[in-house]
Structure 1
């Protein structure tokens, strides 16, 4: 039995193949075809793949050249991020009609705490269904949803009936659900950790539950405490409406590898111009600047410097980035450059709320 203080009504809404679906919606010729947003046949990285493309094993963050080998008739589409942002804003306005406790994770997914909701709807399941219907009617895009007692279980549940479906894990069903859940399905457990767990005989939640806290901490460090709690349905991470932004960045993948000193500096200057616009629009300042380099063979390196004061000056950031470029100067041709400002200055606020819960999902 999970203690009542650990039970809330949480919905995780996840748009289905968001970028690709927007492109298919706006270009009917792409409907029903394998589409990759981002990259090209020769270069770049897939930002998103349609469900037709996923049947060929194509996933986001995959090199475009690999995607093309897996599916020679794939259609590469240039991303239109401003359009995606506008659609995302439209979807979030729908969320806010039901609750102010909305925590966006990205443009295409968010957590909603509907323990109390603005429309007085009795069940979170009905709210999720209504929201998904509203999204379809207003954007012609489908969304999936997971509904349960906390963010972790809701996130896992939203994948179960994708695309265009939803799944509710009732409070009394959470423990059996987690016990029978394969370790690789646990949100936040990556391939390497899952492989380590399998070697230790942990294949399902019920196996993980057999391990006591000290043993988990010994094997997995601080994460051991997290694993101990989530498999028992214990998570107090609240939905944070004013999610604190941790970094602002910009990067670019090149059609042709670059290596000449003048070319690298010129491209970094272009990236810095884009980043500075984002810093200005966010009214942000930070202490840490990071240069990201990915070579032609996909080997990636980052170099960072932390100031003893907050900065947002384009000149100050760029000067430090150029210094980092020479520490040391890259030996291999470069396919991607990126600049990030992190360790941002933020005003943190506590958005946690305490309300009496009715166990009607």
Structure 2
């Protein structure tokens, strides 16, 4: 039985800023792009969240909800430097560390001799070290699997710890809302609700075969997570699956020709980021003026601007008169290793 800890920093970017400026701790603070340039919120502190502000919200919308919001651009170089300090702390406890982003990671402490092998005490000490040395707070979850540890870390946020021992897993998962499962977004939740499914325990009434019939390969993963099953190991080297570039436009555009012009401007940067790596797919992303978005992808063996232009034109048909505020293009990378491993990576959940 594995002992997995998921550590998630509390409002990380904002916390680094509040560490430098204690006077900002009790006022609504957000890191994000300028509202005048259609920026979005990267993260915000908890006083801002009380106004309903959240990550990925448009900056102008955040300022409408909270006119007194302090919106700053942030300092990514500093956040990366602090993230490396946090990872150094993680590696004192185990070499099995899988960073998910600058502010969160999985740790496998199954074989750790520290604190008598207690995942609870290890997680407690990690949080203490981060607080003592960096004056930042972190929340953590400890569980027998990655997805349960991730969910557990949300239970007592901010600055909390939740431990899910093996004996408690079955009852915990049975009562777990399906919307908390990784990969279950709004549309999937609506489809599940239409089947009368709200909690993991109800999946038994449907069965794996029916879930696969309705949701394809995701149905099998949904069934497994609903049973508390997650065999994924902590990966110290993560495989990058895609490379992309996108831009939020200062003003909406309304014609396919304008979209193609933006695509041509993005293309050189995509090629630079790709850096000669092999690909197996190309994807176009458009976000409309009502903040809904669409994507369109095709299989291919090389970055073809003509194919990207074709996809952009086809995706534009979905605008149905709406303006477009964002254009993006990305490629799916080929993985080294056997095809089975590649398929497993494609099916894995991303947090």
- The TM-score normalised by the length of structure 2 is 0.81
Of residues 75, 88, 91 in structure 2, which corresponds to 1:80? 75
Q: Say yes or no: does 1:144 pair with 2:139.
A: yes
1:291 touches 1:304 (CA, 8 Å); kept in 2? yes
Return the offset for 1:175. Answer: 1.0
Is 74-83 or 268-277 further displaced after alignment? Answer: 268-277
Partner residue in 2 for 1:160? 155
Change (3 A) 1:231 1:297: closer
Unaligned runs of 5+ in 2: 342-351
Partner residue in 2 for 1:300? 293
| Larger helix share, 1 or 2 | 2
Relative contact order, higher structure (CA 8 A, sep 6+): 1
Q: Say yes or no: does 1:336 pair with 2:326.
A: yes
**In 2: Cα distance, 1:327 partner to 1:225 partner:** 32
Is 159-168 or 33-42 further displaced after alignment? Answer: 33-42
Q: Report how many aligned residue pairs link the two structures.
A: 337
**In 2: Cα distance, 1:341 partner to 1:24 partner:** 37
Q: Say yes or no: does 1:232 pair with 2:219.
A: no
Say what the alpha-carbon RMSD is for the aligned residues: 3.3
**In 1: Cα distance, 2:149 partner to 2:266 partner:** 37
**In 2: Cα distance, 1:349 partner to 1:17 partner:** 38
2:115 touches 2:122 (CA, 8 Å); kept in 1? no
CA displacement, residues 219-241 of structure 1 (integer Å, 9 cap, x when unaligned): 44333333333333322122122
Is 214-223 or 129-138 further displaced after alignment? Answer: 214-223
**In 2: Cα distance, 1:271 partner to 1:234 partner:** 41
**In 2: Cα distance, 1:350 partner to 1:202 partner:** 32
1:41 touches 1:76 (CA, 8 Å); kept in 2? no
**In 2: Cα distance, 1:269 partner to 1:18 partner:** 35
CA displacement, residues 42-79 of structure 1 (integer Å, 9 cap, x when unaligned): 42222222211111111112222322222222222214
Partner residue in 2 for 1:356? none
Q: Say yes or no: does 1:35 pair with 2:29.
A: yes
Is 92-101 or 293-302 further displaced after alignment? Answer: 293-302
**In 2: Cα distance, 1:50 partner to 1:140 partner:** 15
Of residues 2, 7, 11 in structure 2, which corresponds to 1:17? 11
Unaligned runs of 5+ in 1: 1-6, 310-315, 352-361
Partner residue in 2 for 1:114? 109
Return the offset for 1:131. Answer: 1.3
Change (3 A) 1:300 1:213: closer
Partner residue in 1 for 2:249? 254
Partner residue in 2 for 1:100? 95
Corresponding residue SS for 1:59: coil
Is 86-95 or 153-162 further displaced after alignment? Answer: 86-95
1:121-270 alignment, distance < 5 Å? 121-258=116-253, 268=263
